[in-house]
Amino acid sequence: MKVRHVVTLLVAALSAAMLAGAFEYAGTAAFGFPFAVSGIVLVMALALLVADLRADRADRADRAAEPASGAASGDPVPEQERDRPVDWAGLATIYAFLAGFLVVAHFVSYLVAVPAFLFLFGVLFCKERWVPSAVLAASVGLAVFVIFDQFLPSF
């Protein structure tokens, strides 16, 4: 199973959960639209998943049979997206930095979090040099201070 299928499966799971939740409101206006829409999305997601998996299998069989072709396929299933490799480590690192940003913003201050994030993220993740990172962090920090701290609460 590929990431693309996991995404479809997540959509299906979400709509299934919503569909199940809709019955709590059976008999009221809160039931109508959520029931109908999540039901349709669930069916569509499952259909997509099945078609996609079958197309994959057919593709593999094709490729095994005649390894030369495989570029132009007139499949009746929805168009195939290339399976892009996902840089999981990169994503996780970025989100770890962002989580740190939220923690500092929540427990200390966003005025600390903004320059700290920009500097550390620039140096550690983006492999930028120290000085430009510090300049960027300081200038954005200052701009944020002026706009959000000095300007916005002034009323």
Partner 1 sequence: MYDAILPALGVIFSWPGIAFLVGGTLIGMVFGILPGLGGGQVLALLLPVTFALEPEYAIIMLIGAAGAVPTAGSVAGILLNTPGSAQNVATTFDGYPLARQGRAGYAIGAAATSSLLGALVGAAVLITILPLGRQIVLSFSYPEYFMITVMGLCLIALLGEGSMWKGVMSAGLGLMLAFVGADPIEGLVRYDLGTDYLYDGIKLVPVMIGLFAISEALALLLDKKAVAGERIEFGMSGVWRGSLAVFQNFGTFLRGSILGTLIGIIPGVGGAVANLIAYGQAKATAKDKSSFGKGDIRGVIAPESANNAKDGGALVPTLIFGIPGSLDMAILIGALMVFGITPGPRLMLDSPDIIMVLIGTLVFGNVLAGVILLGWAPYLARVTSLRSTTVAPVILVLGLLGSYATYGNFGDMIVALVFGLVGYFFHAYGFSRVALIIALVLGGLIEKNFYQSMLVFGIEGSLTRPITLGLLLATIAMLVYPALRASPGALLSRAARKERIKVSKDEG
Partner 2 sequence: MDIRLDSLKTSVTGGVAGLTLALGVAAGTAGAADFPEAGSTITIVIPNSPGGSTDTTARLFADALSKALPNEPNVVVQNRTGGNGMIALNDVMRADPDGYTLGILEATTVVLPPVLEGRDYDPLEIEWIAQINNPLYLAVASKASGLTSIDQMAGTGETFVQASTGGRLDGSTLGARMTGMAMGFGVNPIPHDGASEALLAVIRGDVDWMQGTFPTIYAQIDDVVPLFTYTSERIPNLPDVPSVAELGHADLLKLNGLQLVLGTTPGTPDEVMAVLNAASEAAFMDESFREGMVEANQNAEWLDASETRELIQAKIDLFGAARDELLKE
* Shortest reach from residue 57's CB to partner 1, in Å: 19
Closest CA to 52 of 4, 84, 113: 4
Torsion angle in degrees (nearest 10) through CA of 71, 73, 75, 78: 40
Give the footprint of partner 2 on residues 58-117 (CB under 8 A): 105-111
Q: Does 150 bind partner 2 (CB under 8 A)?
A: no
Taking the complex as a whole, the smallest distance from the CB of residue 5 to partner 1 amounts, in Å, to 9
- Over the Cα atoms of the chain, what is R_g? 24
Residues of span 120-139 touching partner 2 by CB under 8 A = none
Q: Which is nearer to partner 2, 88 or 107 (CB)?
A: 107
CB-based burial label for 39 (10 Å; 0-12, 13-18, 19+)? middle
Shortest separation between residue 140's beta carbon and partner 1, angstroms: 6
Separation of first and last alpha carbons in the chain: 55
Cα separation values, 7 from 1, 3, 13, 135, 150, Å: 11, 6, 10, 40, 43
The footprint of partner 1 on residues 23-82 (CB under 8 A) is 25, 28-30, 33-34, 37-38, 40-41, 44-45, 48, 68-69, 72-74, 78-79, 81
Identify whether the C-beta of residue 31 lies closer than 8 Å to the C-beta of residue 25: yes
Residues at the interface with partner 1 (CB under 8 A): 3-4, 7, 11, 14-15, 18, 21, 25, 28-30, 33-34, 37-38, 40-41, 44-45, 48, 68-69, 72-74, 78-79, 81, 84, 86-87, 90-91, 94-95, 98, 101-102, 105-106, 110, 114, 117-118, 121-122, 125-128, 132, 136, 140, 144, 147-148, 151-152, 154-155
